[in-house]
Structure 1
Amino acid sequence: MNGPMIITLIVLIAASILFVSGKIRSDLVAIGSLIILMLFNILTPAEALSGFSNSVVIMMIGLFVVGGGIFQTGLAKMGSRVLLRLAGTSETRLLVMVMLVTSVIGAFVSNTGTVAVMMPIVVSLAMSAGTHPGKLLMPLAFASSLGGMLTLIGTPPNLVIQETLLQAGYKGLSFFTFTPIGIVCLLTGIIGLLFLRRFLPDHQKELGKGKKKGRSLKELAKQYQLTQNLFRVQVNKDSPIQSKTLLELDVSAKFEVNVIEIRRKISAKNQFFKTINQEIAGPDTVIHEDDILYVNGTFERAEQFAQHYGLTLLDHHVAERSGPQSEQSEQYATSEVGIAEVMLTPNSSLIGRLVKDSGFREKYRVNILGIQRKEQYLLHNLKEERMKFGDALLIQGTWKDIALLAANQANVVVVGQPIEESRKVTMDIKAPIAAGIMLLMVALLITELVPAVVAVMIAAVLMVVFGCVRNMEEAYKSINWESIVLIGGMIPMSIAIEKTGAATLLSEGLVSMLGGYGPIALLAGVYFTTSLLTMFISNTACAVLFAPIALTAAIQFGVSPYPYLFAVSIGASMCFASPFSTPPNALVMSAGRYKFSHYIKVGLPLQVFIGVVMVAVLPLFFPF
C-alpha cells in the first residue's frame, strides 16, 4: 500500500469512529476529513469541494424545500389521515403500511424523491398516531431503497449491471426481471425491521427532551372552550351594517359579543397567491358585503346579533356542531393569525384596569378572548372585567403582532413561542397547489424529460412562488444544513478512495481470496465486499467498480454471471449502516432525531440479514 492510500484509510477509519461516538457534530467531522485530505495533497481543493456542487446535494436542498411546502400547506396532514384510517394507530401496522407504500413508489421514482414525498406525510402520521417519528422515518428511508429493487429503473445500480451484461454480449434484463428477487428483498427488510425497531428512538424519552413551555394551540382552544364560543356570521347584500365601522356599531355593548376577526374574499388578479384576506377586527374596521365575521360569545347572543342586522349565521348551536375539535379550533389560528396566552407581570401597569381600557386592541392590535383566574375561566362580558395579578389572558392577533407583544415584557409575558407556533399552522387553502407541484415533480422524475435535479429544483421554486412555503426565509429554514454539509463533505471521500487505489485493492483481493472456495463463497464475497464499500462511496460508483470484476470472476469460474451481477446491484443498494451512505438516510436523520449509533444498531444488522438471505436465494432465481 502506498502512502496516500494509508492516509486515506486512516482518515476514513477515524471519521467512522467519530461518527459512531457522536461527540463531535457529523458535519464538522466531514469537513475536517476534507481538510486533512487536502493538506496531504490527496485531494485538490476543486476535488474536495466538488461534493457541494454535486447534483445529489443540490437535489437534497430542493427536496427539503418541497417537503417544507408539503408540510406548511397541510398536505402532509391530509395524507397522514388517509394512512391513519387504513392502518389505525398500531405501530406495527403503521410501519408495514409505510414501508409497502414507500417501496411501491420507490419502484418507479428515485429513492431520494420517494423519501421527499413521503417524509412529511410520515412525520404527520406519527404525530397523529402518538408515535415518535423516529420509529417510522428510518424504515421509510430503507423502504425507498428496498423498493428500488422491484424494477429495472428503481435504482442506478440496476441500470449499471444491465449495461455490463449487454456490453459483454449477454441477454439484457426486462423491466420486471428484478421484481421476484425485489419482493423477497422487501419482505426480508420488513421482517428484519419489525425485530430491530426496538433500537429506534423511544417515544417518551426523546419527545420529552424537546418539549417547550406553554400549551399548544389545541390545548389552549380546549382549556378556554373556544369551540363552544366561536361563531361565524356572513354579511348579506341588504345588511344595514355595510360600510360601517365596529366603533359605530358598538356590537359588544349592545349584544355582549365581540367581533374578533374578519375574513373576506378578494377578487385577486393573483388569486393563486392569496384568496382570503384576514383582518383582526379593530374599532376602525369597516364592514363590507360578503364579509365573514368571527364572533366570540354565547350562541344566543350571536344569533340575536345576526337576526338584528339581517346576517347569515353560518354555525349552529354548540350541541349540533360536528367535526374533530382540532379542526374547529383551527378557525382561531391560521398561517397569519394565531392565539397565545399571556401572564401579567407583578409590576404590570395593567393590574386593576378594565379590559376595555387596557389598550391591547389599540396598541398591539390583539383581542382578548378569555381570562383564566385561578381555576375559573372568564369568557363573556370581558370589557367590564378588571384585570388582577396572576391572571392569564388568551389573546388573538397576527403572529407578527403577538411576537411584538412578546418583545415588550414590561406588562405581560407571552407564554410559549409565537413564531414557532405560527410555523405549525398549515395553509390548507394551498394544499391543492402543493399536490399539483408534487405530482409534476413525480411525473418529471418518472418520464425523465429533464434531469432529476432540474425536476426537483423546478418543484422547489414553484413551492415558493405559489406561496406553499410562506417566504424565502421559511424555505431556507426548511433545509437541514447539517445533512447537506455531511453529504457534501463525504462525497469527495469516494474520490480519494478510488484515486489512491484502495477500492480496487480491496475488491480484487477479496474476490481472488474467496474464489477457491466455490461459487457460493465467491457470491458472498462479491455481495459483502460491495455492501461494505458502498458505505463509503456512492452506490452507483460502487456498482460501476464491481460489475466488471464480478463478470470476469464468473466467466473464469465458468458459471452464469447473472447471480453475481445481481449481488453487485443489491449489495450496492442495500446500504443502511450509516447516514451518509445514501441521500434518503441523510434526509431522515434530523427529523427522526437519529444519531450515528442508531444506523449502526438497526441498519448494520439489517444489512447483514438481507445479505445472508440474498446469497442463499439468488442462486434459486438465477442458477449458476
Structure 2
Amino acid sequence: MTHLIILVAIILAALVLFIGGWIAVDVTGLLVLSALALTGLVSSTEALAGFSSSAVITVMGMFILTAGLTRTGVAYRLGQPIQRLAQNSEVIIIVALMAAAAILSALINTTTVAAIMLPTTMELARRSGRSPSRLLLPMALGCLLGGPFTGISTPSNILATEALASAGFPPFKLLDFTPITAALVVSGILFVILIGRRILPGSSKKKDVAYQGPLESSYQLTTHLFTLRIRHGSKLAGRTLIESRLGSALFLTVLGLKRRGELILAPRPQEKLQEGDTIIVHGHPNHLQYFNGHQHLCVEANHEMNEQMLQGLTMAETVIVKDSPFIGTTVAESRLRQKYRVHVLSLHTAQGEAVQNVRRRPFALGDRLLLQGEQQALEKLVADGLVAPLCCTPVNSIDQLVTEQTSLLPMRVPDGSIMVGRNLVESRLGNAFGLTVIGIFREKALLFMPSSEEIIQKDDLLILQGTKYDLEALVGLQALLIERPSPGLVAELESQQVTVTEVLLSPRTTLAGQTLANLLFRDHYGLSVLAIWRKGQAHRLHLQDMPLQFGDALLVYGQRQSLEAVARDPNFLVLDKEATQVPLMNKAPYAIAIMIAVLLSAILGYVHISIAALTGAALMVLFGCLTIDEAYRAIEWKVIFLVATMLPLGVAVQNTGAAELVTSHLIPMVGGLGPRWVVAVLFLVTVIGTQVIPTAPLVVLMSPIALSTAASLNISPHLLMMTVAIAASSSYASPLSHPAHLLIMSPGGYRFIDYIKIGVPLTLVIMAVAIWLLPILWPA
C-alpha cells in the first residue's frame, strides 16, 4: 500500500508540473524517472530501459524518415491533393485532414501515418496562412481515431484477438472492428469541428484568422500584396512582364501569376501575359491607383489641338559638334528638356546606326539628333555652340508629329486626380513609359514643351508623345482590375523552389553605398527585393535608388537556388539556412523506395516497426536523401527524452498492481447494473491507463481482467475484449499516450495542457458513443 501511495503522489506531482508548465516537459520526465528509481518502484534496469525501448527507437526513426521525405520533396507532393484545400474554410481543411489520416491509419501503422502527414500538414498550414497548432493536433487525432479500423491495424486489436483465441473463444475477424471504429471516427470529427476547434491553441473569435509569422508581422506583407487581373482585350496581353511596365511605372514587384487555376511563382521577366491572368504583386497601395482607371488620367479625342500644335512645333536634325558640353552626358544629364525645352526624338551614331536606348546612352562626337521643339528654343542650341547648324522642318502636317517611332495621345487630368499638384517628373510618364509631354492645353492656351518642373493642374489636357507600344502600355495599365488577395496568399507564394526571406549585409560587405540599380541586383542574383529594413522601419519605395548601408536587411523573393548562390557571397548573410535548401528531387525515388520498404516490412511482420524505422533512417542517409547532420537536427530530442523517461511510469503501475486494484473494486460495484455499466467501468479504467502505459502492455494487463469479468458476470467476452481494444486506442488526452502526439508536439508548439483541453472531452465523447454502441454490435 505504501508503494501505491508513493506512485499516486508521483503521478499527481508530474501532472501538476506538466499542466503548470513551469518546468520543461523533458526535465519533468527526468524528475519522474529519478523519483521512481529512488523510491524503489522500479529497478535501475527498468528505469533506464526506456532509452532502448521500441517506442523511442520508432519515434527517432520516424523523425529522420520524415525529414528525408521532406528534403527530397516527396512529402510536398504527397500532400498536394490536400494542399489544394488551403483556401477553403478551416472546417473543410480539418475534416479533410482527419478523414485522410483516419483512412491511412487503417492501412498503415498510426505512427507512420503521423510521420507522413506531419510535413504535409505543416505545408498546408503555411499555405492557408494558419498556425500549425490549428491543424497538427486534429491530424494526430484523426490518426488515432482511425487506428483500430481492422484487426491488424493496431497492436491492441492484435493482442485482443490473440487473448480471445488463447482463452478458447472464436477470435475477432479482420473487419469486426470496422463498424465501431467508423462510428468513432465520425463522432471524433464532428466533435473537433463543432467544439474542439474552439479549444485549439491560436483560436480566435474571428473566423479563420491568418497566421502571421515573424516576417509577416515585421514587414506586413499582406497589406502590401494585391492581385491585378488582365481583362479580355487588354493591351497588356501578349506583352512580357518587363514590357507591361508594372515595375517601372508602379514600383510593383510581380511575385506570381495565376493562369487557368495554375500558380506560377517568381515568373521570369520574359513571361508573356495572357487574357484572364491574375498577377500577384507587392508594392505600395497608392501606386496601384496611380494609372489605374480613368479617375486620374482620361483619354480624350484630339479635337482642337491639331492646328495649334502645327503652328508651334518644329523638328530639326543636327549633329553633336566638337567641344560640345553634351559629349559624355545622357539626355537627362544634358538637361535639354529642362533648360531648352527641346525633346530628342531619335539618335543615330556618326556611322548611321540607330540608338535604341536614347535616354541612357551618352552623347558622342558626330551623333545625329532629331530634335523637336519651338523654333526659338532650337536656334538657342546653335547659338550656345552645343550643336551644328540646324536642318529645320516646320511641321505642316499632324502626320509629321506622328512618325514611325512616335504617336500622340491626349489625356485629360480630371478633378481629384492624384496627378494634380505634381510636376511632370513626379508624374512618371517619362521615366515609366518613355512618353514625353510635348504640350499642355490649359484654359484654351497651349504650353509647348513644358519644363519637367511644370506643375500639373486639374482639367489640363496633356499631349503625350511616344511610341504606339508605350502609349498602349499606359492604356493597358488603366484597364487592370485591382482585387484584394486571399488571407493565405503570403503562404501560397512559397513552395519547394521559391521562398521569401531576409538577407543581411555582412560586416565585411563591399556594397555599402551602392544602390540595387548599380548592382543590377535582380539580373545578377535572380532575386526581387520587396523591402529594405533599416533602423526599425521597412522601406518599399525607390528601393533601386536607395544606397545600401551597414545593418540593412533585404526582404528578397525568388528561387531557392538563387538564394543558395547569395548565401555563398561574402557580402551577404542569409539567416534562414533552410530557405536556401533546394529539394533533392533526384533523390526522391530513393526516399519513396525506402519508405515503402519500411511500411511493407512492418505491415507484413518481417521485422518490428522500430527496427524497420531505424534501418530506413540509416538508408536515407546512406543514399543521400539527407546528410547525417540533417538527420541529427531532424530528431526532436526533447520528445525522445520525454518518452524514455516516462515509460518506467507504466512499469511502476504494473509492479504496484494499481490497475488490478482499481478494477477489482469498481467492477463488482456495477456488475448488477447491467452490461453497459461494466463496459463503462472497463472502458474508463483502460482509457486512464492508456495515458501513461503503452498500448501493448496495457492490453496484456487488462485482457485477463476482462475475460474473468465476462465469465463471472456471464457477459459476452467479445463485448468486453472489444471494449478493452477500443479503449486502449483512445489515447487522446496526453502527449505521452502515443508517439503520434509526440511527433507533433514541437512543430505545433503544444503544451501538456493543450492535449488535456481537447483530449479529455473527446475521450468522453468517444466513451459515450462506445458505451452506447458496443452492446448493440456485440450483445451481452
Fold shared, TM-score > 0.5 on shorter chain: yes
Q: 1:452: which partner in 2?
A: 609
How far, CA to CA, are the matches of 1:422 and 1:199 in structure 2? 36
Q: 2:598: which partner in 1?
A: 441
1:489 aligns with 2:489: no
How far, CA to CA, are the matches of 1:607 and 1:403 in structure 2? 49
Give 3-state SS (helix, strand or coil) of 2:84's partner. helix
Q: Residue 86 of structure 2 contacts residue 127 of structure 2 at CA under 8 Å; is this kept in 1?
A: no
TM-score, with structure 1 as normaliser: 0.73
Q: 1:422: which partner in 2?
A: 580
Matched letter for residue 594 of structure 1: Y
How far, CA to CA, are the matches of 2:527 and 2:186 in structure 1? 56
1:530 aligns with 2:690: no
Q: 2:234: which partner in 1?
A: none
Q: Residue 55 of structure 1 contacts residue 453 of structure 1 at CA under 8 Å; is this kept in 2?
A: yes
Matched letter for residue 538 of structure 1: P
Give 3-state SS (helix, strand or coil) of 1:15's partner. helix
Q: Residue 73 of structure 2 contacts residue 496 of structure 2 at CA under 8 Å; is this kept in 1?
A: no
Q: Residue 58 of structure 2 contacts residue 613 of structure 2 at CA under 8 Å; is this kept in 1?
A: yes
Structure 1 94/39 Cα, relative in aligned 2: closer, same or farther at 3 Å?
same
Give 3-state SS (helix, strand or coil) of 2:14's partner. helix
1:544 aligns with 2:694: no
Q: 1:202: which partner in 2?
A: 202
Structure 1 169/473 Cα, relative in aligned 2: closer, same or farther at 3 Å?
same
Q: 1:58: which partner in 2?
A: 57
The structure in which a higher percent of residues are helix is 1
Matches within 5 A, 1:45-444: 45-85=44-84, 89-194=88-193, 195-202=195-202, 207-208=211-212, 225=254, 227=266, 341-342=503-504, 350-352=511-513, 375-376=540-541, 387=547, 389=549, 402=566, 414=573, 417-423=575-581, 425-444=582-601
Cα deviation code 1:244-299 (max 9, x no counterpart): xxxxxxxxxx99xxxxxxxxxxxxxxxxxxxxxxxxxxxxxxxxxxxxxxxxxxxx
Q: Residue 510 of structure 1 contacts residue 529 of structure 1 at CA under 8 Å; is this kept in 2?
A: no
Q: Residue 60 of structure 1 contacts residue 484 of structure 1 at CA under 8 Å; is this kept in 2?
A: yes
How far, CA to CA, are the matches of 1:392 and 1:41 in structure 2? 58
Structure 1 81/555 Cα, relative in aligned 2: closer, same or farther at 3 Å?
same
Cα deviation code 1:414-461 (max 9, x no counterpart): 5x61424335x5334433432332222222222222221122122212
Q: Residue 147 of structure 1 contacts residue 154 of structure 1 at CA under 8 Å; is this kept in 2?
A: no
Cα deviation code 1:470-527 (max 9, x no counterpart): x111111111111111111111111111112222212222222322322221111111
How far, CA to CA, are the matches of 2:221 and 2:66 in structure 1? 23
Structure 1: gaps (5+ residues): 233-253, 256-318, 380-384
Q: Residue 166 of structure 1 contacts residue 172 of structure 1 at CA under 8 Å; is this kept in 2?
A: yes
Give 3-state SS (helix, strand or coil) of 2:135's partner. helix
Segment drifting more, 9-18 vs 199-208: 199-208
The structure in which a higher percent of residues are strand is 2
Cα deviation code 1:317-352 (max 9, x no counterpart): xx9xxxx99999879869xxx98544598x986445
Structure 1 342/142 Cα, relative in aligned 2: closer, same or farther at 3 Å?
closer
Structure 1 residue 544: Cα displacement: 1.0
How far, CA to CA, are the matches of 1:375 and 1:144 in structure 2? 45
How far, CA to CA, are the matches of 1:613 and 1:331 in structure 2? 43
Q: Residue 109 of structure 1 contacts residue 445 of structure 1 at CA under 8 Å; is this kept in 2?
A: no
1:613 aligns with 2:612: no
Q: Residue 69 of structure 2 contacts residue 591 of structure 2 at CA under 8 Å; is this kept in 1?
A: yes
Cα deviation code 1:397-426 (max 9, x no counterpart): 876775576xx8xxx775x61424335x53
Structure 1 189/370 Cα, relative in aligned 2: closer, same or farther at 3 Å?
closer
Matched letter for residue 539 of structure 1: T
How far, CA to CA, are the matches of 1:92 and 1:488 in structure 2? 36
Structure 1 211/508 Cα, relative in aligned 2: closer, same or farther at 3 Å?
farther
Structure 1 400/527 Cα, relative in aligned 2: closer, same or farther at 3 Å?
same
How far, CA to CA, are the matches of 1:367 and 1:616 in structure 2? 63
Segment drifting more, 524-533 vs 142-151: 142-151
Q: 2:743: which partner in 1?
A: 587
How far, CA to CA, are the matches of 2:25 and 2:501 in structure 1? 38
Structure 1 residue 563: Cα displacement: 1.1
Q: 2:666: which partner in 1?
A: 510
Give 3-state SS (helix, strand or coil) of 2:770's partner. helix
Q: 1:19: which partner in 2?
A: 18
Q: Residue 127 of structure 2 contacts residue 492 of structure 2 at CA under 8 Å; is this kept in 1?
A: no
1:473 aligns with 2:629: yes
Q: Residue 526 of structure 2 contacts residue 562 of structure 2 at CA under 8 Å; is this kept in 1?
A: no
Matched letter for residue 560 of structure 1: S
Matched letter for residue 496 of structure 1: A
Q: Residue 136 of structure 2 contacts residue 748 of structure 2 at CA under 8 Å; is this kept in 1?
A: yes
Structure 1 residue 27: Cα displacement: 0.6
Give 3-state SS (helix, strand or coil) of 1:107's partner. helix
Q: Residue 197 of structure 2 contacts residue 203 of structure 2 at CA under 8 Å; is this kept in 1?
A: no
Q: Residue 57 of structure 1 contacts residue 484 of structure 1 at CA under 8 Å; is this kept in 2?
A: yes
Matched letter for residue 431 of structure 1: A
Structure 2: gaps (5+ residues): 226-246, 256-265, 272-355, 358-479, 481-488, 533-538
Segment drifting more, 189-198 vs 386-395: 386-395
Cα deviation code 1:350-396 (max 9, x no counterpart): 44568899999xxxx978976978644566xxxxx894558876889
Please, what is the CA RMSD of the aligned residues?
3.9
Q: Residue 87 of structure 1 contacts residue 93 of structure 1 at CA under 8 Å; is this kept in 2?
A: no
Matched letter for residue 516 of structure 1: G
Matched letter for residue 759 of structure 2: G
Which of the numbers 756, 759, 771 marks the counterpart of 1:603? 759
Structure 1 residue 153: Cα displacement: 0.6
Segment drifting more, 613-622 vs 112-121: 112-121
Matched letter for residue 491 of structure 1: L
Q: How many residues matched? A: 517
TM-score, with structure 2 as normaliser: 0.59
Q: 1:563: which partner in 2?
A: 719
Give 3-state SS (helix, strand or coil) of 1:449's partner. coil
% identical equivalent positions: 32
Q: Which structure's CA Rg is the greater one?
A: 2
Matched letter for residue 517 of structure 1: L
Q: Residue 711 of structure 2 contacts residue 717 of structure 2 at CA under 8 Å; is this kept in 1?
A: yes
Q: Residue 503 of structure 2 contacts residue 575 of structure 2 at CA under 8 Å; is this kept in 1?
A: no
